[in-house]
Structure 1
Amino acid sequence: MRIISGKYKGRRITAPKKLPVRPTTDLSKESLFNILNHQFNFSELNVLDLFSGTGNISYEFASRGSSSITSVDGDLGCVAFIKKTAQEFDMDITAIKSDVFKFLERSKAKFDVIFADPPYDMSQEDFERIVTLIFENDLLDEQGLLIIEHSPHTKMDHLEHFSSNRKYGSSIFSFYEYEQVETDEEDEDDE
């Protein structure tokens, strides 16, 4: 995998072959970060990377200036690899070994961006449970964005807070956010 942009642009990171992962492709990752570039100032983001695997998405946020990144994965090998890589690159990434659902049930922190890349063969119910837990436990900032990567076999557009999705190859990114209420300041100024 390679880092697409920012401080570490072009750097290659080689994960051990034995890790149980399916990293987000460079094309999908580049498309996702093009969307995020228009919405966020990366240096101000508090990021949560769920089912983080090799840390591919976390490294991209760190390279673009995010200094508060939490990576959660249930595999000890993945967490150890993220810790080692973050230390080598001097990235501020906190890697936590935990069942993602238990983490979401216990966490009290709020995040600006939450990215989840569960195994594509995870059940529909568990995909939906990620969205439910995040909004029920108020883990997303009011202006924040939840992104779930999934295959076309998993349907995510019927859930509350769904805003849009984008398809890249065999991956779909579904986006969730709180509905933004527009204030009509211009009308008040006219009075």
Structure 2
Amino acid sequence: MRIISGVYKGRKIQAPKKLPVRPTTDMAKEALFNILNNQYYFDDISVLDLFSGTGNISYEFASRGTEQITAVDANYGCIKFINETSEAFKMPINTVKSDVFKFLENSKQQHTIIFADPPYNFEVSLFAKIPELVFKNKLLQAEGTLVVEHSKHTDLSHLEYYSYSKNYGGNAFSFFVKN
């Protein structure tokens, strides 16, 4: 995996093979950040990266100047890897080892962008729980966006607060906003 843009542009990060992850592809990540770049100044936002895995998305935000990043994952190896990598690059990433759903139930902090990359084999009911908890617990700031990554074969358009989706290869991003 590599960092697409920002101060760490071009840097390659090699995650241990034993981590239970599927990092967002460079093509999909570049497309996502092109969309977000047209809506936000990255140095003015707060980001919550759910099911953060290798930290791929968090590193991209940090490279682009985001100072407030929280990465949440239940896997100790993933959290350890993100901590080591962010420390090596001096990136401002705060990690939380937690079940994402428990974290969303208990969190009170609001964010500008919440990015969730759960396992693609989740049941639709588990995907639905993410926006449900985010909006019920008011975890997005005004003008904030929830982005959920999933397989292009998963349809989330029926969920409340759904705005639109974009497909990139086998990946899709669904965007949720409070109107």
The answer to whether TM tops 0.5 is: yes
| Partner Cα separation in structure 2 for residue 59 and residue 131 of structure 1 | 23
Secondary structure (helix, strand or coil) at the match of 1:2 reads coil
Secondary structure (helix, strand or coil) at the match of 1:72 reads strand
- Once the two structures are TM-superposed, the CA of residue 146 in structure 1 deviates from its matched residue by 0.3
**Percent of residue pairs bearing the same amino acid type:** 59
Q: 5+ residue gaps in structure 2? A: none
Partner amino acid for 1:35? I
Residue 106 of structure 1: aligned partner = 106
| Partner Cα separation in structure 2 for residue 110 and residue 13 of structure 1 | 29
| Partner Cα separation in structure 2 for residue 154 and residue 100 of structure 1 | 20
State which drifts further: 158-167 or 107-116: 158-167
Residue 63 of structure 1: aligned partner = 63
Q: Superposition pairs for residues 6-155 of structure 1, below 5 Å?
A: 6-155=6-155
Alignment length (residue pairs):
179
| Partner Cα separation in structure 1 for residue 156 and residue 131 of structure 2 | 9
| Partner Cα separation in structure 2 for residue 159 and residue 122 of structure 1 | 15
- Once the two structures are TM-superposed, the CA of residue 152 in structure 1 deviates from its matched residue by 2.5
Q: 5+ residue gaps in structure 1? A: 180-191
| Partner Cα separation in structure 2 for residue 57 and residue 118 of structure 1 | 13
| Partner Cα separation in structure 2 for residue 176 and residue 14 of structure 1 | 31
* TM-score, normalised by the number of residues in structure 1: 0.93
* TM-score, normalised by the number of residues in structure 2: 0.99
Cα deviation digits, residues 137-161 of structure 1 (max 9, x gap): 0001110000000012322111111
| Partner Cα separation in structure 1 for residue 78 and residue 162 of structure 2 | 29
Secondary structure (helix, strand or coil) at the match of 1:125 reads helix
Structure 1 stretches of 4+ with a deviation exceeding 4 A read none
Backbone CA RMSD of aligned residues: 0.5
Highest Rg: 1 or 2? 1
